[in-house]
Structure 1
Amino acid sequence: MAKVDKYLHNKYNFMIPVAGYNKGDIDIPEAIQRLAWHIDNLPERYNKLSAEELHHKPAPDKWSKKEILGHLIDSAINNLKRFTEIQFLPQPYQIISYRQNELVLVNNYQHLAIEHLLLLWQSLNRQIIYVVQNIPANKLEFIVDPQYESKETKTLGWVIADYIAHTEHHFRHIFS
């Protein structure tokens, strides 16, 4: 296992793609391996940040590093629901957006202990891995309407890969 972790760390520079969100190449086992790596390594990365770094908001309307993690918790909650519902609801599954700023505000992530936030994020993402690993291959092709202006439909596999790419996009902001 240590060889895999070293390979992933070297290949992805803390697992963060430079291109941003998922651009189409879908390798679910690799994406899940990357997410598992984050689950194992995120506490160490966060624990290296000072209290000032964790709480600093670059602007009044921008999130702190703690609030970004809170946003990723909200993202995990919403995507866990999507990954399960897409498997049994009629296609195309309609992705409903969620009120990101309002959720970060009302959940008051800025004032929660970082240990609490890390544990919650890890637990949700362990469940996501469990759910994704149990999705039959044919269901990864189920059609999803992400409600983009382009009206382009996607697949469940694409949505899963995009979730992990979105997570890594935010880690780039936290740790850069």
Structure 2
Amino acid sequence: MFLEDFRRTIESSAERLRSITEEQSETGRAEGKWSPKEIVGHLIDSAANNHQRFVRGQFSENMVFPGYDQNQWNEVQQYARESWPLLVELWRLYNLHLLHVMSCADREKLKRSHGEHSLNKIAWELVGEKEPATLEYVMRDYVEHLKHHLSQIFGDSV
């Protein structure tokens, strides 16, 4: 099931992230690209934004959620200057909590189709403006986005 895969991804990736040194975490893959610290910071921001979507999506009549400027969030919080072990542990614990939120979600609410949404603007894999969307899609999209960025750090698929 997708939730068990998410749990394994969190734990195995946290272990791999812990093996990266502070110095390695500060080096971007290429000029102008985020470092592992900045990528994990972005994933923490993604967790924070999606957390409220996962909760609100269970009691709202629509799925119109605000987006955020990922570069501004990363710059303002100065993830490049944060402690690597702290970032890794925050990322791990936040995602374990999101896993809990996902696993507690009412199945009917997860499958409920919403015609009014903002997933044509904020999802990682966009949903057409006229296409219906579900909360389950938002959750699965979050996990796929997370895996994409972890693959950028590790240089292989997660």
- 2:57–2:135 Cα contact (<8 Å) kept: yes
**Amino acid paired to 1:115:** P
After superposition, the CA RMSD in angstroms is 1.6
1:175 aligned residue: 154
1:105 aligned residue: 75
State percent identity of aligned pairs.
32
**Residue-by-residue CA offset, 1:66-125 (whole Å, 9 max, x unaligned):** 10000000000010100000111222x102211100111111111111111111111211
Identify if the C-alpha distance between structure 1 residues 50 and 116 changes in structure 2 by more than 3 Å, giving closer, same or farther: closer
Which of 1 and 2 has higher RCO (CA within 8 Å, sep 6+)? 1
- 1:32–1:129 Cα contact (<8 Å) kept: yes
Take 2:118 and 2:153, find their aligned partners in 1: how far apart are those partners? 26
After TM superposition, the runs of 4+ consecutive aligned structure 1 residues lying more than 6 A away are: none
1:53 aligned residue: 24
Task: Name structure 2 gaps, 5 residues minimum.
Answer: 122-127
**Residue-by-residue CA offset, 1:36-61 (whole Å, 9 max, x unaligned):** 1122222321132233431112223x
The alpha-carbon deviation at position 134 of structure 1 amounts to 1.0
Task: Name structure 1 gaps, 5 residues minimum.
Answer: 1-29
TM-score normalised over the length of structure 1:
0.76
**Amino acid paired to 1:156:** L
TM-score normalised over the length of structure 2:
0.84
